[in-house]
Amino acid sequence: MSNDWIDAEGFRANVGIILVNAENKLLLGGRVGAKGWQFPQGGMFAGEEPEQAMYRELREEVGLEPHDVELLGATSDWLRYRLPDKFVRKRSKPLCIGQKQRWFLLRMLCADDRLRFDRGDKPEFDRVRWVQFWRPVNDVIYFKRRVYARALYELGPLVHPEGLPGRPRWWPRRWRVVFDKDISKLEAVAAESEKS
C-alpha cells in the first residue's frame, strides 16, 4: 500500500473497470480464495493518470492489453465509498477510510481465452463470469453497491443507447430509495451541464 495515492481526506485513489462483451454482458471476477465477485479495480500510484492506472490494472487483473479492448467512456468524476469501520486499518499511515474511484467502460474485442489471472504479482481473481447489466450491484460486497449502481447508471447508456435495462425482480425495495436519490442527483448534474 506504500505506493498508493491516498488523499488528504483519507480516500485511496482507485480505478474501476466495467468490461462488456459483444452480448452486452458484464465481466465479474471471482476473488481468489473467497466467495466474492467484483469488477476489476485497483489503486492508483502517486503521479499516475487514471487511464494509465486502468490499463495497468486491466493487464494485472485479467491479462488484457490495450489492443484487446475499446475504451467507450469514463465517469465524469470520482465516485466514493467509505469502508465499514471493521475494514479500516487504523494503524496504517496515511489512514485510508475508503476509496474514490474513476470508472471506465471497455468493450472486449478479443475471445475469452485471452483472459488470464497470472499477470500481476498477486492474482486478484481465479475465475470470471459474464452477467446481466444490473447483476454486479447484487453480487458485490454491500458497501460498494451504491458506487456500482452509480457507475452503471452513468456509463450504461454507452452500451444501451435505447435506455438502460429495467431493474430486475430481485432488486430490493430498500435499495430503490437510496439509489433513486443518487440517480436524481446524477440527472440534475447532467441537466445542468447541458445548459452550459
**188: CATH:** 3.90.79.10
Number of domains in the chain: 1
Is the pLDDT at 93 greater than 90? The verdict is no
Percent of all residues in the chain with a pLDDT value above 90, rounded to a whole number: 64
Residues 126-176 pLDDT 10s: 999 999 999 999 999 999 999 999 999 999 999 999 999 988 888 887 777
> What are the grid coordinates assigned to 29, written together?
471476477
Q: 5 in a domain, yes or no? A: no
Q: 35 in a domain, yes or no? A: yes
Residue 159: other Cβ atoms inside 10 A: 16
Q: 1 in a domain, yes or no? A: no
Q: 58 in a domain, yes or no? A: yes
Q: 44 in a domain, yes or no? A: yes
Q: 96 in a domain, yes or no? A: yes
The whole model's pTM is what?
Answer: 0.88
DSSP-derived secondary structure letter, 6: B
Highest mean pLDDT (candidates 16-20, 93-97, 174-178, 190-194): 16-20
* Radius of gyration (C-alpha) of the chain in whole angstroms: 17
pLDDT of residue 193: 65
Q: For residue 32, give its domain range.
A: 11-195
List of long-range contacts for 113-119, beta carbons under 8 Å, 24+ apart: 114/63, 114/64, 114/68, 115/62, 115/63, 115/64, 116/62, 116/63, 117/32, 117/61, 117/62, 117/63, 118/63, 119/59, 119/60, 119/61, 119/63
